[in-house]
Amino acid sequence: MKINNLFNIENKTAVVTGGSRGIGEMIASGFLANGTKVYITARKAPALLEKANELSQKYNAECIALPCDLSTVEGIKSFVKVINEKEGGIDYLINNAGAAWGEPFEDFSEAGWDKVMDLNVKSMFFLTQKMTALLKSNATEENPSRVINIGSIDGLNVPMFPTFSYSASKAAVHHLTRVLAAQLVKENILVNAIAPGPYPSAMLGSAVNSDYSEIEKRNPRKRIGTPEDIAGLVIFLCSRAGAFTVGETITSDGGIVKTTGHNLS
């Protein structure tokens, strides 16, 4: 029952997609600060390599950059091949990579629909499928492997912005999480999702010109999310403390969904 045992994630191996910035970087930092080796992925190699080096030094831990394009099944296969060559198995897969697209309803494009659906839903499914053998390698009944899918409160509420494919994709992520949880729990792999509200990120920042003050005022907690908020929740789900939590979508939004019923992000 000691904290150090309940929330221990030392000597584990994690893969965090979209790990070079935003929520992915926050999650990677939480892992590294607590003794987990982390592979981070993104398409832009220079920024990814720089971030891996920065995080390795900051936390005196092993953060490894693997640049790749997860938007195609071929890209996913080549990524998984590299992980297989480097690791006998992994403990945690954090499906965080995603894209958004905003256009007025009457002009919303097929390109904007397909790009978001492909990366946010299709790629998440196929990466999990291809990583299952690696997750099974380290999984036991006592110590299951974990998959955490990053959804959004936009998949629970009607969003403020005209991001039709994004909100639909995140609702799909939440339900896909339940379906994958049912499939993989018998393999000692636990699948859950987190639905973040407003966190500082390139995606939200571009929508509000990186000025979060209005969003903070409207949030029930009077602030936006911090690295500790998202990392703490991920650590709970990945540790002994979260080993009986399966198929859940947990909001991390300061109370927007449950206390206001509106999307204030």
Q: What is the set of active-site residues?
A: 166
The answer to whether 128 and 233 have CB atoms below 8 angstroms apart is no
The β-bridge relationship of strands 63-65 and 37-41 is parallel
The answer to whether 175 and 185 have CB atoms below 8 angstroms apart is no
Q: Which residues make beta-bridge pairs with 218?
A: none
3-state helix, strand, coil in the chain (%, to 5): 50, 15, 35
- Cα–Cα distance, 51 to 250 (Å, whole number): 28
The answer to whether 148 and 238 have CB atoms below 8 angstroms apart is yes
The answer to whether 45 and 67 have CB atoms below 8 angstroms apart is yes
The β-bridge relationship of strands 189-196 and 145-150 is parallel
Q: Which two tokens stand for residue 252?
A: 């991390």
SS3 of 140, please?
Answer: coil
